């Protein structure tokens, strides 16, 4: 979510065991779970690597989000009393605080998490699960094709979407969400690629 691990980065089981101080079985279970979510790729006789979506998959991910998120916020704005607005308000406060402190990795994490909070606030576990996977894949895509300038969602756009929901304006909420996703996608450079890394301990903050 924080885009510290570039796509195609090799995830050595031995190095992960050493980094986190856990046994190989724990690491293997984690890798299998991540592989089932499309976050990593398990390659026969080669090991685990951070997934590397191509341009076609990137377009598919944003297309899927366009199918889910705009109708979702429209429905939320039609019945804001049925959702947990406090969850979203508190989250945006965390985003604002991270920006004031210029905490880049926290800003990136929170920016993606806002979209999963949208789904979570509806109480629909299946939509939440789908959005969590899509947001994670989006983070991989931005990590691969994005730059430091567009690694997080633009300032104020989340707050504007929430305000439209709070004001019971479904047309505006949907319009803002569509514009927001287009803004993120248009900031990607499909010709650039972040190089894979190999020092997992340093990347993951244990050294």
Would you give the end-to-end CA distance of the chain in angstroms?
20
- Helices 55-78 & 157-166, crossing angle to 10 degrees? 30
pLDDT category of residue 194 using cuts at 50, 70 and 90: low
Q: Per-residue pLDDT averaged across 166-181, rounded?
A: 96
- Could you tell me the sign of the dihedral formed by the alpha carbons of 73, 75, 81, 84, in that order? negative
Q: Per-residue pLDDT averaged across 10-28, rounded?
A: 92
Q: Quote the radius of gyration of the chain (alpha carbons, Å).
A: 18
Q: Per-residue pLDDT averaged across 171-190, rounded?
A: 92
pLDDT category of residue 158 using cuts at 50, 70 and 90: very high
Tell me: the pLDDT tens digits for 91-148? 999 999 998 998 877 887 888 899 999 999 999 999 999 999 899 888 878 877 776 5
Residue 31 has pLDDT above 90, yes or no: yes
- pLDDT for residue 205: 64
Q: Which domains does the chain carry?
A: 10-53+199-203 (1.10.10.10), 55-186 (1.20.120.530)
DSSP structural state of residue 194: P
Residue 198 has pLDDT above 70, yes or no: no
CA geometry: angle 90, 3, 194, nearest 5 deg = 150
- pLDDT for residue 163: 96
Could you tell me which residues are beta bridge partners of residue 43?
47
Tell me: the pLDDT tens digits for 67-99? 999 999 999 999 999 888 999 999 999 999 998
Residue 191 has pLDDT above 80, yes or no: no
- pLDDT for residue 114: 94
In the chain, % of residues over pLDDT 90 = 52
Residue 62 has pLDDT above 90, yes or no: yes
* pLDDT, greater one: 167 or 205: 167
CA distance 138 to 175: 20
Closest Cα to residue 73, out of 184, 183, 164?
164
């Amino acid at each position: 979510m924080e885009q510290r691990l570039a796509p195609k980065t090799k995830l050595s089981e031995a190095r992960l065991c050493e980094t986190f101080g856990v046994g190989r079985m724990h690491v293997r279970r984690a890798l299998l779970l991540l592989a089932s979510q499309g976050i990593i790729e398990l390659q026969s006789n080669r090991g685990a690597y951070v997934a590397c979506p191509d341009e076609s998959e990137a377009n598919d991910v944003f297309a899927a989000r366009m199918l889910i998120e705009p109708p979702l916020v429209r429905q939320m704005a039609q019945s804001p009393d049925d959702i947990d607005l406090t969850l979203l308000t508190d989250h945006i406060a965390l985003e604002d605080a991270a920006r004031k402190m210029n905490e880049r990795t926290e800003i990136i994490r929170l920016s993606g998490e806002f979209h999963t909070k949208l789904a979570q606030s509806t109480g629909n576990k299946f939509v939440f699960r789908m959005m969590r996977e899509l947001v994670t894949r989006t983070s991989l895509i931005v990590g691969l094709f994005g730059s430091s300038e567009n690694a997080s969602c633009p300032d104020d756009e989340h707050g504007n979407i929430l305000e439209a929901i709070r004001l019971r304006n479904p047309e505006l909420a949907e319009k803002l969400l569509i514009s927001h996703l287009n803004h993120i996608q248009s900031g990607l450079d499909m010709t650039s690629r972040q190089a894979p890394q190999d020092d997992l301990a340093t990347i993951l903050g244990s050294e």
